[in-house]
Copies of this chain bind each other. A is one copy, B any other.
Amino acid sequence: MEPFELSLTAAAAEIGARRLSPVELVDSVLARIEATEPVLGAFACVTADAAREDARRAEQEIAAGRYLGPLHGIPLGVKDLYDTAGVPATSSSRVREGHVPDTDAVAVARLRAAGMVVVGKTHTHEFAYGAITPTTRNPWDPGRIPGGSSGGSGAAVAAGSCMVGLGSDTAGSIRIPAALCGTVGLKPTYGRVSRRGVASLSWSLDHVGPLTRDVVDCALVLDAVAGFDRLDPATVDVPVPDSTAGLDRGIAGLRVGVPVNYFGDHVSEDVAAAVRAAVGVLEEQGAQVREVTIPYADQVLAAEWGILLPEASAYHQEALRSRGDLYTDDVRLFLEVGELVLATDYIKALRVRTLMQQGWAAVFDDIDVLVTPGMPVAAPEVGATHVTWPDGTTEDVTTALVRLTSPGNLTGLPVLAVPVGSDGAGLPLGMQVTGRPFDEATVLRVGAAYQAASTTVGRIAPVV
């Protein structure tokens, strides 16, 4: 087994015991990047020299007895939306070509402080404004998209080209590539992790968080990045618990909600069956399954787009005026449409969101977590514009990909994406576990309970 194939926890155990050097691990990962990038195109840039230097320093620190913990020496891929000191941060856009920030985004700085080694910047759909990531291919089938916008992180983590990828999620951009590439992904509670230094798409819907190979890794990274930041006014000054502490406590008696509406509409039979089976696994471990009704389901997409479109256009307005021709056509169109939205319509979308948040809070009076499909389909083919459903209707790919994840952005609740096996073609399928505000610990515990009974969480894609 090559070092890049180890789980983060296994690699950390080897590093902590000085049986594996961060230098060996990073070299193995860099070699994996070199082998897979011609097919994947997951990275906007690879920072091999800096990574080797950081790995050497980590090796020396550990040799000198200054082991920082399980993230020390672990290779990290950072979505190109994040600022990285001295390394280009282009948001995969010509608009930001040549932009080299002076400082790291808060999440990057915190992970570096925990000893992680940045191996490169991963591709995003331009400015995170899309669910495809056209630069990048799916590691399970290069004829398929990885999803987006954190498609580079999803593809790289699944392929073994890094052990953790940072992502961001405004309408599902962590959970979409996680589901389509077969990784774990966490959209933390709105306000749990600082977004300072990450290019904004729609600040009232934006979340940052990790994509990882398994649930334990995800908890480790969350604990390192979580916490109040006075300069991200959305962050909330609440205690950050140790998410890894109760991961193996089991889920006996936990009330698992399963929706009777919305999340079952236009979902492939493969996905539905895989999620049903996953719920069965949770039930076998003592969870109590309860049916729940999703409130304001008909308003999800109107609210999501009614907020996202104008917020994105406000953020990009100056660049659109001065350098509009540098955007790709699809993103420029979105930005132009967003400029036409009236304030009163945006405000109505905000009001619907508030009602939705109240409605979901009431749903969680009766359950501890909600389990739903992650994506309605496995990864679509590259170039596909529509999904065709058995009832003869079609749906554009972007709508299909954001439809089941947007409620998490509107409600701000923490959502964990967990792989639940594959379809007949070997493509990964995913589920989402949603919890109460700031209760990432419980969604991670449910993910860990499922993972313990699963053979497919943590797999590395062959990149065929």
Shortest CB distance A181–B (Å): 33
Interface string of A337-367 (1 = CB under 8 A from B): 0111111111110010010011001000000
Does chain B have a CB within 8 A of A235? Answer: no
A interface list, Cβ under 8 A from B: 230-231, 233, 309-311, 313-314, 317, 338-348, 351, 354, 357-358, 361
A354–B200 CA distance with the chains assembled, in angstroms: 15
A211: shortest Cβ distance to chain B, in Å? Answer: 29
Q: Which residues of B contact A342 (CB under 8 A)?
A: 310, 339-343
Whether A314 lies near B347 (C-beta < 8 A) is yes
A310 touches B344 (CB 8 A): yes
5 pairs of residues in contact across A and B, judged by CB atoms under 8 Å? A233-B357, A309-B343, A310-B343, A310-B346, A317-B344
Number of copies of this kind of chain in the complex:
2
Q: Which residues of B contact A357 (CB under 8 A)?
A: 233
Decide if the interface of chain A is mainly helix, strand, loop or mixed: helix
> Which of B230, B233, B341 is in CB contact (< 8 Å) with A343?
B341
Residues of B within 8 A of A344 (CB): 310, 313-314, 317, 338-339, 341
Chain B minimum-CB-distance residue to A310: B343
Chain B residues near A309 (CB, 8 Å)? Answer: 343
**Docked complex Cα distance between A317 and B351 (Å):** 14
The residue in A231, A339, A344, A345 that gathers the most chain B C-beta atoms within 10 A of its C-beta is A344
Q: Kindly identify which residue among B230, B310, B343, B354 contacts A314, using a CB–CB cutoff of 8 Å.
A: B343
Q: What 4 A-B pairs have minimum CB-CB distances, sorted nearest first?
A: A310-B343, A343-B346, A314-B347, A341-B343
Say how far A127's CB is from chain B's closest CB, in angstroms: 16
Closest B residue by C-beta to A347: B314
Partner of A346, one of B339, B346, B354: B346
A233 → chain B closest CB, angstroms: 5
Min C-beta distance of A428 to chain B, whole Å: 37
Residues on the B chain within 8 Å of A314, using CB: 343-344, 347-348, 351
How many angstroms between the C-alpha atoms of A122 and B420 in the bound complex? 62
Complex contacts, A339 vs chain B, CB 8 Å: 342, 344
Cα A22 to Cα B231 in complex, Å, equals: 52
Give min CB distance, A231 to chain B, whole Å. 8
Question: Are B358 and A233 closer than 8 Å at their CB atoms?
Answer: yes
| Residues of chain B within 8 A of A310, CB atoms compared | 342-344, 346-347
